[in-house]
Structure 1
């Protein structure tokens, strides 16, 4: 009888099936209530005493083999059926793909670039690690000039070239003027750095877009018309005002305000109840800056302007805390999925 068990054991090990029905029939044959194994367990009491140990071991071995074979075949055939259901039906709906999103800073930067590109401004870029000449001296800020204190600077320590992290993208304009002859019409978007405390309204890292136009007979009137065009295209608001201000590299200089309005509670909050909102600084390029860049101020004049991209984005999307731009919070970023 032990030889019969060994024969069944060999049959179990060689058994194969290509469908679950055959596996179920095999299970019933060996493991069912009226199956082969129960038959041999019933015969156990009639086995001679000296053979009981070997007989019992062989029965258990057959039971384990049959059980493992059933589980193995069921798992394999179930996997095949699942894959067939997934990949075999070409009419089934596709898995929804996650839509990416641009960062709001990139969105606003691209919008600003598009507005100025439509009136002939190209885009210029420069290094973020800058030297003293391009960041300060060429812009009418010689060493020890008190206006340097307006921009708390990150300096690169222990270097012979007075390197620093640029405090504005005006340094890009200097490089552009050094390598290009008028007429010049360019905007310089980029990241800048200032040693400031981080709060809801300020950060040590932020982004600027600065514009420069140099040609013969450029006037303040040209600057104003350019700014009216820009605010109309970006904000849908054409009413602006220019308040006298001071910048070392422009003269005369002005702060630009747009009339935001007082239609909502938010309008009252962001304009402090006045309806007017400051968005940028501007002015006519100082003749000393033109001289430093080898441009004759007697032949050419020009204007420049600069704005913070974060400030514009906060206005457009009503974002109350500048730190949100840098925290990589997916809950915040996913809000811009449908914006390109």
Structure 2
């Protein structure tokens, strides 16, 4: 979800990995050069000077222009359009550049200075003054400042993260928001919309487990009229209940006897108050779908619309698409294999049918961490991903040991390799693993055990 959920690198020559059309892994020699060791780095055709904050890798740069959410018949594109269909009178934005300033990504949204998302271990920096957005909320102030009062924004976002079947450094979010004039006329507009939405839901097969719109644990902001805040929170809930029907009603086979079950949970986000999470009962379990709430007044003040009050929500497309399309591994969204792509039609939700399950191959790497070196797990994952790309299925730390005499720290990571398109031989994986070990030694000054 958007803000509702929230390296050292040297230039060297080594083999790089590529697939030929026959699907077999081949090797070619290429020169990898770290953006951090170059004077400039190119992102989307623009040149930026590098500095000590530069940590963006070639593996990420190669995918910045992909925009899967706009790719014809792609599951993420189909899901985006389905969400937009629930808000036909909203402005729909989907092509905004991922390059933003840290001020725009964090400060405009009142992120505290010590928020972990600001760290280089969590975010991709082009340099100190430019980064890849970590959430679609980075454009919230921008949209309000432009005069947009109701909008949806879909975009790719970037976070340095762990590696497993449900995490990927690039994913996609939808941010939605609507604001009203904070006066009697604006509240009449809200009441009329509430009546309209309630009428739609009254005839739908949906069972809603609600929570109070406001409560002592989920309070109205001091700047807001409590009556106005409650009306806006109700509008938010009605709107999103309708969205849940749009997303899940058509694939669940709901009926009067078997309605779509939605439940609201009081939550806390530093960017909204009152705040909520929404869950849907789907395939015999409760799924967390999104976070939302009444926008904090500081955001609206920063956007130059202090006389407004409104709501916002954010959700992750991959998370929902993996459920609706029965896609088991988040890497598959990036597949170019026709056996994957040909299964989907534009505008239709169909269950993915596995065409093969190639065996995985795991390799362990153990090493001593050099004295005084702070090694973050995201640094390890980012390095492995940059070497192996989408051939790495997951990376898990399986041992952590501190020598009682020397106080040296030993770490052991297990790396699972699996191609989605062909079988990997042990020899092929050994070549990749050797590159991982070489990079660990070069970049983090570790001693392999």
TM-score relative to the length of structure 1: 0.60
- Range that drifts further, 186-195 or 228-237: 228-237
Q: Map residues 1-340 of structure 1 onto 2, 5 A cutoff.
A: 102-117=73-88, 120-125=89-94, 126-145=96-115, 148=118, 152-157=122-127, 159=128, 162-180=129-147, 184-216=149-181, 217=187, 219-236=232-249, 238-260=260-282, 267-268=283-284, 271=285, 276-296=286-306, 299-337=307-345, 339=347
| Residues 155 and 164, structure 1, Cα contact 8 Å, conserved in 2 | yes
The whole-number CA distance in structure 2 between the counterparts of 1:254 and 1:131 is 28
| Structure 1 unmatched ranges of 5 or more | 1-99, 261-266
| 1:339 positional shift | 4.9
The CA distance in 2 between the partners of 1:215 and 1:145, in whole Å, is: 30
Instruction: Give the structure with the larger helix fraction.
Output: 1
The structural deviation recorded for 1:259 is: 2.1
Which structure's residues are more often strand, by fraction?
A: 2
Deviations 1:60-113 (A, max 9, x none): xxxxxxxxxxxxxxxxxxxxxxxxxxxxxxxxxxxxxxxx96111111111111
Moved more, 219-228 or 234-243: 234-243
Counterpart position of 1:10: none
Higher-Rg structure is 1
Query: Structure 1 stretch 330-339 or stretch 199-208: which is displaced more?
Result: 330-339
Q: How many residues align?
A: 220
What's the C-alpha RMSD, in Å, of the aligned pairs?
2.4
> Are the counterparts in 2 of residues 208 and 306 from structure 1 also a CA contact under 8 Å?
yes
Runs (4+) of structure 1 exceeding 6 A deviation are none
C-alpha contact (below 8 Å) 1:101/1:339 kept by paired residues: no
Change (3 A) 1:145 1:202: closer
